[in-house]
Amino acid sequence: MDKLEDMASVCEFDPITGDIPATKVEITVSLCVLYTQGVESKQWREFGRTEVIDNTLNPDFVRKYILDYFFEEKQNLRFDIYDIDSKSPDLAKHDFLGQTFCTLGEIVGSPGSRLEKPLGGIPGKNCGTIILTAEELGNCRDCATMQFCANKLDKKDFFGRSDPFMVFYRSNEDGTFTICHKTEVVKNTLNPVWQPFTIPVRALCNGDYDRSIKVEVYDWDRDGSHDFIGEFTTSYRELSRGQSQFNVYEVSSLNFHLIFLPSPLSLSLSSTQIHFTVAIDFTASNGNPSQSTSLHYMNPYQMNAYAMALKAVGEIIQDYDSDKMFPALGFGAKLPPDGRVSHEFPLNGNVDNPYCNGMEGILEAYHESLKTVQLYGPTNFAPIINHVARYAAAVQDGSQYFVLLIITDGVISDMAQTKEAIVNIVLLAGGISSRGKLAERDIVQFVPFRDYMDRTGNHVLSMARLAKDVLAEIPDQLILYMKSRGIKPNQTPPDYSPPGLKHH
């Protein structure tokens, strides 16, 4: 397979994405040219081209694109397809067949990381479809936790028992082998069960799942002259099948069990659905929405602070929610017609169905709410947190993960209840009581909006930084949750039907 690894250097550094990437992904596309977009300039620049496939209307390209993937950033992509008529590198001399736009997060967040999109760009013409897939490359952060046992090993000691241990070797490009792990010695047995061990996948096979792995079994001797019992070869792909007939080897009838400790991307690839809920502060301390000093100021010419923060974060995280339907809630306002104070109301006014269609739907519902509710108080977080926590508690198999974004202007009135609600969430995930207990996982990220306001008026760059910092901890929090619960990512998670908003 011809991988465009040299092209990765084209977009290695960006003022925003100068950090170490979450991972690298490989994109397989039925197209000719890939463009990426700068965060600030919004200019498209060519990233790479596939090879040319002759005489087919359904090309399946071998060449791949290697991209750095950042969960917390919006990475815009454009794919253009051409009919190549000559050897000229000038695209203007070839026939344009269509194009499509998406984000890298959309591809990664799609079921099975496979996204199918219609091609457009030519008015009045059906340009066909394009299929985009993402696969994590070998420099991932996956680790394999495995355990071996053996039956009826060869007798090497005079008294009829052995002290066996195992040695693992990674194969090199030149045909040689490099030792990468050695188990402990299990004394005086012909049926050893070794302790589980964890090893980076890179160390086992350098990220190549089909590369040979050699395993030797020895009988330990005190003087160091260990007796060779036997050996076998396998691969990471075979081992990852787990305990089955595929992992029984003649040398010692070894059985194998594998548990993944997934990276952020592999969790997405395993179809963990992220459910995003937004809650907005409608307390009077925000100021009168009709006045320019208000954080809720209804300016007909530009978005207010709440809308900017909501759009910056929501546009990124929505790529990981398959149905793009999001509960949008408000708190701290008096509601019509009777003026009762609510700390948990739907922005769209529909108690039975608070879901909004995409970020545009949330923003529309937010603006409509500003026209109908009266800003009041106090600033209570606990009802909203408990609301989302109830739904999260109902799905704890790792197939669903819930993220709550609260946008507020300041002081929390119910701090004690809010702390208890957060601790309850953490301890619920651990299956223990909350009374007198402290949270064992940090699941809260506070980001002050004022730190990201650009005095020059360059909101595009400042909002990109805001979203990056708000979302940066989610991958690690998700991994920690999966590990704490002993959950293996599912390839086909159960269907999830979002419930409506209920009064409590």
The conformation of residue 318, written as its DSSP 8-state character, comes to G
pLDDT of residue 5: 31
Question: Which has the minimum average pLDDT: 34-48, 147-161, 199-213?
Answer: 147-161
- Tokens 């977080």: give the residue: 381
Please say if the pLDDT value at position 32 is more than 80: no
Mean pLDDT over the full length of the chain: 76
d(CA 489, CA 58): 33
| Crossing angle of helices 382-393 and 415-430, rounded to 10° | 10
Contacts of 445 (CB under 8 A, 6+ apart): 469, 470, 472, 473
**Per-residue tokens: 250:** 């003649």
Percent of the chain with pLDDT over 90: 24
Residues 403-449 pLDDT 10s:
899 999 877 787 888 778 766 665 444 433 334 444 445 567 777 77
pLDDT of residue 188: 83
pLDDT band at 251 (very low <50, low <70, confident <90, very high): low
Please say if the pLDDT value at position 248 is more than 70: no
**What is the DSSP pairing of strand 197-200 with strand 143-149?**
antiparallel
Residues 273-286 pLDDT 10s:
788 899 999 999 99
Residues 88-99 pLDDT 10s:
888 888 889 899
Contacts of 259 (CB under 8 A, 6+ apart): 144, 145, 146, 488
Please say if the pLDDT value at position 384 is more than 50: yes
* CB 97 within 8 Å of CB 127: yes
**Phi and psi (nearest 5°) for 237?**
-60, -40
Count of Cβ atoms closer than 10 Å to residue 438 Cβ:
8
Indicate the residue type of 382. A
What is the model's pTM?
Answer: 0.62
pLDDT band at 247 (very low <50, low <70, confident <90, very high): low
| Nearest in space to 414 (alpha carbons), one of 382, 390, 389 | 382
Please say if the pLDDT value at position 338 is more than 90: yes
Mean pLDDT of 130-157: 69
Mean pLDDT of 95-104: 91
Residues 465-483 pLDDT 10s:
777 777 877 777 777 777 7
Please say if the pLDDT value at position 158 is more than 50: no
d(CA 327, CA 357): 9
* CB 74 within 8 Å of CB 105: yes
Residues 166-197 pLDDT 10s:
889 988 877 888 888 888 898 887 778 888 88
* CB-based burial, 85-111: b 16+ in 10 Å, e otherwise: eeeeeeeeebeebbbbebbbbbbbbbe
Mean pLDDT of 372-394: 90
**Per-residue tokens: 51:** 């090879």
Distances (CA, A) of 98 to 44, 52, 87: 16, 16, 20
Tell me which of 19 and 188 has the higher pLDDT.
188
Residues 205-226 pLDDT 10s:
877 888 899 988 888 888 878 8
